[in-house]
């Protein structure tokens, strides 16, 4: 007879310790004000957005799911992963009047920098960023997508920022062949508690710096940090644009509004605010 499933049924993937996470992350003068861990949900972004509408979530709320079966990415893509195999969470941020609307597009890029730097330290893996919102690791000499980031406007001048990261997935569990995980990248640890703490602390640090600088990515040091960690810059790329069409050329820069600047073969430059980016092989 098969034993009943429980929260301890997979000892290689223990549950997150909600109380310990709260003690470590919630401080009177800190960014995070509330942290909840739920066993399973469709999408933490959708849940947190609904909580904002219902008046049940304040700025600084963190919602973490042990399993997310309908996680949402850009262009309404969905994905899922085995229980407790990754970090799936959303945070509620208040942008405030100090950050102009045109600079809010930097939020996913900021989250990418915060996540990549935290994982490099806490998991001991080389990380890189693919514009605009993918975190990459190297597996068997190839760039693989470790996770993604999605920012969505909510009510009352807030933004819901969702992050999904593959932690302990093995090769047979990957959602698509081009995906990766910290385990496959040779991480020194796949313990999700310290990894989540590291990411949330890094996110709070970068967000505080960025808002204190009025959302100016250069003044906050964010522009330089993103450029240094972005695997897209300097590469030949194909940008598949929303609504059809594409742009090809070299990813030359990220501008002050977070747009990717693509330089065509004729030298003309085009700013792209949203697109699927394909890294092309050098010819």
Per-residue confidence at 283, pLDDT binned at 50, 70, 90?
low
| % of the chain at pLDDT higher than 90 | 85
Q: What is the pLDDT of residues 92-148, one digit of tens each?
A: 999 878 899 889 999 999 999 999 999 999 999 999 999 999 999 999 999 999 999
Closest CA to 67 of 155, 164, 157, 145: 164
pTM over 0.85? The answer is yes
Per-residue b or e along 7-25, where b marks 16 or more CB atoms closer than 10 Å to that residue's CB:
eeeeeebebbeeeebeebb
Per-residue confidence at 281, pLDDT binned at 50, 70, 90?
confident
Q: Which residue has the tokens 């890029």?
A: 109
CA distances (Å), origin 64, targets 5, 17, 38, 90: 21, 11, 6, 7
Q: What is the pLDDT of residue 77?
A: 56
Per-residue confidence at 229, pLDDT binned at 50, 70, 90?
very high
Residue 233, pLDDT above cutoff 70: yes
Closest CA to 45 of 31, 18, 65, 22: 65
Residue 5, pLDDT above cutoff 50: no
Q: What is the pLDDT of residue 2?
A: 37
Q: What is the pLDDT of residue 69?
A: 85
Residue 8, pLDDT above cutoff 50: no
Average the pLDDT over each of 72-76, 125-129, 152-156, 185-189 and give the range with the smallest value: 72-76
As a whole number, mean pLDDT of residues 43-64 equals 97
Closest CA to 212 of 24, 32, 25, 31: 31
Mean pLDDT over each residue of the chain, to the nearest integer: 92
End-to-end Cα distance, the chain: 58
Per-residue confidence at 75, pLDDT binned at 50, 70, 90?
very low
| Interatomic CA distance for residues 131 and 135, integer angstroms | 9
- Residues 6 or more apart whose CB falls under 8 angstroms from that of 69 comprise 40, 41, 42, 80
| Interatomic CA distance for residues 259 and 272, integer angstroms | 5
Task: Give CA angle at 60 (55, 61), nearest 5°.
Answer: 60
Domain annotation for the chain: domains and CATH numbers: 18-229 (3.30.930.10), 236-279 (2.30.30.100)
Closest CA to 33 of 60, 54, 10: 60
């Amino acid at each position: 007879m098969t034993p009943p499933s429980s929260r301890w049924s997979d000892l290689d993937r223990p549950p997150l310790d909600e109380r310990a996470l709260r003690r470590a992350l919630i401080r009177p003068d800190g960014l995070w004000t509330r942290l909840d861990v739920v066993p399973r949900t469709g999408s933490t972004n959708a849940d947190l957005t609904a909580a904002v509408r219902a008046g049940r979530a304040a700025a600084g709320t963190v919602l973490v799911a042990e399993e997310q079966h309908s996680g949402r990415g850009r262009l309404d893509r969905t994905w899922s992963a085995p229980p407790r195999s990754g970090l799936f969470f959303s945070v509620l941020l208040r942008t405030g009047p100090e950050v102009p609307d045109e600079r809010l597009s930097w939020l996913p890029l900021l989250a990418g920098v915060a996540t990549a730097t935290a994982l490099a330290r806490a998991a001991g893996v080389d990380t890189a960023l693919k514009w605009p919102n993918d975190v990459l690791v190297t597996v068997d000499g190839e760039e693989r997508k470790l996770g993604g980031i999605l920012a969505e406007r909510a009510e009352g001048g807030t933004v819901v920022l969702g992050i999904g990261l593959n932690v302990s997935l093995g090769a047979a569990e990957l959602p698509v062949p081009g995906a990766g995980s910290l385990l496959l990248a040779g991480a020194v640890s796949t313990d999700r508690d310290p990894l989540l703490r590291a990411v949330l602390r890094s996110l709070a640090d970068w967000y505080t710096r960025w808002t204190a600088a009025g959302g100016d990515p250069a003044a906050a040091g964010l522009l330089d940090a993103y450029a240094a960690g972005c695997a897209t810059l300097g590469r030949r790329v194909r940008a598949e644009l929303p609504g059809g069409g594409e742009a090809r050329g070299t990813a030359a820069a990220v501008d002050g509004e977070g747009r990717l600047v693509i330089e065509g073969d004729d030298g003309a430059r085009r700013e792209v605010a949203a697109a699927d980016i394909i890294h092309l092989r050098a010819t």
